[in-house]
Amino acid sequence: MEEIVKDLKKIKTKKNEDDGLDECEPVSPCARLFKQINCHVICLFGCKHEIDIQELKNNVENSPLFKHKRFSSILKAGRKGKLRWVPTKANIDDHIIVPQIDLSMNSENCVGFVEDYAAKLGTAPPLDPSKPLWQLHVLNMKSAEAEATMIFRIHHCIGDGVSLMSLCFACSRKTNDPKSLPTLPRPAQRPTRPISLVYLIFMLFLRFLLMMYFSFQDSLGIVGTLSNFIRDSNTPIKGSDGVGSMPKRLAHVCFSLEDVKTIKNAVNGTVNDVIIGTLAAGLVRYLDRIYASREQTLPSNLLVRLAMPVNTRAVPGLQELADLENKKEQCRWGNDLGFFIISLPLQKYEDPLQYAQAAKIICKKKKSSLEMYITYLTAYLSGQMSENIWYRMSSNTTLTFSNTVAPEEEIDFFGQSITYIAPTTVGQPHSLAVYFMSYMGKVRLVVTSAEEFMPDPERLCLDCVESLGHMKQAAAAKTNGLLRKL
C-alpha cells in the first residue's frame, strides 16, 4: 500500500511540474532549428584595460542583459512536446567563466591564442540546459589589439544577431559621456523632390511589377534549393554533412570605413554592395590560389551562394532595451528570421570595381524582392518541418554572411572600454561564416571556418583587404579621370 501511495505522489509531482508550462512563451521555428543543430553566437570584445572580475560581475548583474527574460529562462518541453521558455533564477557565477591562463604566454607566443580560444568554444561541450544558455568568458591577457578580451557564448535560440547586439549596446555607454547611450549610424536619407501624382502612381505600379517578378524568380530558386535541385558548386570550401560540429578556425582583420565609402561613391552604390563585392573578390583570389596549386584554372561557372539572415520584425530601440527593468511587458524577442540567398560574382574582372558593380545589381534585385518574408513564412507555416527546411536551405549554400553596424564612437561595455568587436556564429551547416562589423570608423572582417575545408581563414582576410585596396585605387583613378574631363 505504501508503494502505491509513493507512486501516486510521483505522478502528482510530475503533473504539477507541467502545470502552467503550456502558458509559457513557445519557441519559434527558427529557434528550434538553432537548438537542434546547437548553433551559437560567439562575440569577441577587445578591452583597453585589464578586467576586474568582481566589478564585471556586479556590472553584468545590474545590466538590462541579465534582467532580460531570455537570459533568465531555460527551455522545457510541455505535455505536447513543444519547447517553451520557462523563467528561472540566474546565478551570475554560473555565467562568468575565467579560464586559467599561463601568464608566460603574455608575449609573442600568445599570438592567435584569443582567436583559437574563441574558435574552440564552437565545439565545446553543450551549455547546461538547466541554466540560461549563455556564458561570458574573460581572458585577462594581452593580445595584438587589446589588454584583455571578453567573449560571449550565447545559444542562438535566445535571439537573432541583430537583437543580441542591440541588447549589448543598450548595456553600453559612450566612453566620453558615461550617462549617454551610444549612437548607431543611420542610413542617409535622399533629398525629396516634388513629383506629379501621375508619375508617382506610375512608379509605384512599376515597383509593384518588379517586386512580383523578382519575388517569383526568387521563389523558384528557394523551391529548387529546398528540393536539392539547385546546389552550390563543390568547391574546396564547400562543407559536407556534419560540418557544423567540426573543429573551427577564427581570424579577423580591420580596414577603414572611409575606403569603403570611397568605393561606394565611385559605383554609386551602398556600403553593403562594396562589402559583398570585396568578399567576392577575396574569394576569387583565395580559390584561384587553391586551383593553381592543383594545376587547374578557376572555373568560370562556379555557383557559390551566401545565406544572409535578415530580421523580419522591428528591433527594439536602445533606450527601450535599456529601460527593461522599468517595464512590466518586455520587448518582443526571438528568432523571426528570413533569408536572402545571394549568388556571389566569382569571376576574374579586369576592373576591380566590377565586383562592387556586380554586387550592386544583385543586391538591388534582392531589395525589390519579398524573398526574406517568403523564406520566413515557409518555415513558419511548415510547423515541425521547419527545421528540415532551414537545414536544407543552409546545407545547399556555401557560407553564412552578415553585415552589422556598431556605435560610431568608443563605448564602455559592462564598465570596460572596448577597442574592437568581432561577432560570428558556429554550428550552422556551413564550412564558412563571414561577418562584417563597423565600429569607430573601421570595418572588421571576421572569418570563421571549418578547419578541414579552410585551415587558413587569415589568408582569406588578407585577400579581402588586398582586393579592397585594388578597388580603392581603381575608384581614385576613376575620380581623377572624371576631374580631368571637367
For 95-151, write each residue's pLDDT tens digit.
999 998 775 655 455 668 899 999 999 888 889 999 999 999 999 988 888 999 999
Q: Is there a domain that residue 412 lies in?
A: no
Based on the domain organization, do 242 and 148 belong to the same domain?
A: no
Q: Is there a domain that residue 192 lies in?
A: no
Q: What is the CATH number of the domain that holds 52?
A: 3.30.559.10
Q: Is there a domain that residue 423 lies in?
A: no
Based on the domain organization, do 143 and 227 belong to the same domain?
A: no
- Characterize the bridge pairing of strands 40-47 and 73-77: unpaired
Options 156, 252, 430, 470, the catalytic residue: 156
Contact 98, 138 (CB under 8 A): yes
Q: Is there a domain that residue 191 lies in?
A: no
pLDDT tens digits along 327-350:
544 555 667 778 899 999 999 999
User: Last residue of a domain, which of 174, 189, 213?
Assistant: 174
Residue 257: domain span: 204-404+429-485
Based on the domain organization, do 217 and 131 belong to the same domain?
A: no
Q: Is there a domain that residue 413 lies in?
A: no
Based on the domain organization, do 87 and 222 belong to the same domain?
A: no
pLDDT tens digits along 281-308:
999 999 999 999 988 999 988 999 999 9
Is residue 351 helix, strand or coil?
coil
Report d(CA 447, CA 106) in Å as an integer. Answer: 24
Where are the alpha helices (H) located in 368-424, listed in sequence order? Answer: 371-381, 386-395
Based on the domain organization, do 61 and 126 belong to the same domain?
A: yes
What average pLDDT does this structure show over 243-261?
93
Based on the domain organization, do 268 and 221 belong to the same domain?
A: yes
Contact 418, 44 (CB under 8 A): no
Percentage of the residues of the chain whose pLDDT score is greater than 90:
49
Q: Is there a domain that residue 188 lies in?
A: no
Per-residue three-class SS string for 78-146: CCCCCEEEEECCCCHHHCEECCCCCHHHCCHHHCCHHHHHHHHHCCCCCCCCCCCCEEEEEECCCCCCC
Residue 228: how many CA atoms within 13 Å on its side-chain side? Answer: 4
Based on the domain organization, do 235 and 150 belong to the same domain?
A: no
156 counts as catalytic: yes
Q: Left if phi > 0, otherwise alpha if psi is -120 to 50, otherwise beta: which for 38?
A: left
Contact 304, 233 (CB under 8 A): yes
- Characterize the bridge pairing of strands 134-139 and 411-413: unpaired
Based on the domain organization, do 359 and 462 belong to the same domain?
A: yes
Q: Which three cell numbers mark 4?
A: 502505491
Based on the domain organization, do 264 and 349 belong to the same domain?
A: yes
CA angle 59, 69, 56 (to 5 degrees): 15
Q: Is there a domain that residue 72 lies in?
A: yes
Report how many domains make up the chain: 2
Q: What is the CATH number of the domain that holds 375?
A: 3.30.559.30
What average pLDDT does this structure show over 71-92?
85
Based on the domain organization, do 77 and 215 belong to the same domain?
A: no
pLDDT of residue 160: 85
Based on the domain organization, do 70 and 138 belong to the same domain?
A: yes
Given a cut of 90, is residue 433 above it in pLDDT? Answer: yes
Task: Note the pTM of the prediction, 2 decimals.
Answer: 0.88
Q: Is there a domain that residue 333 lies in?
A: yes
User: Last residue of a domain, which of 174, 193, 214?
Assistant: 174
Based on the domain organization, do 357 and 450 belong to the same domain?
A: yes
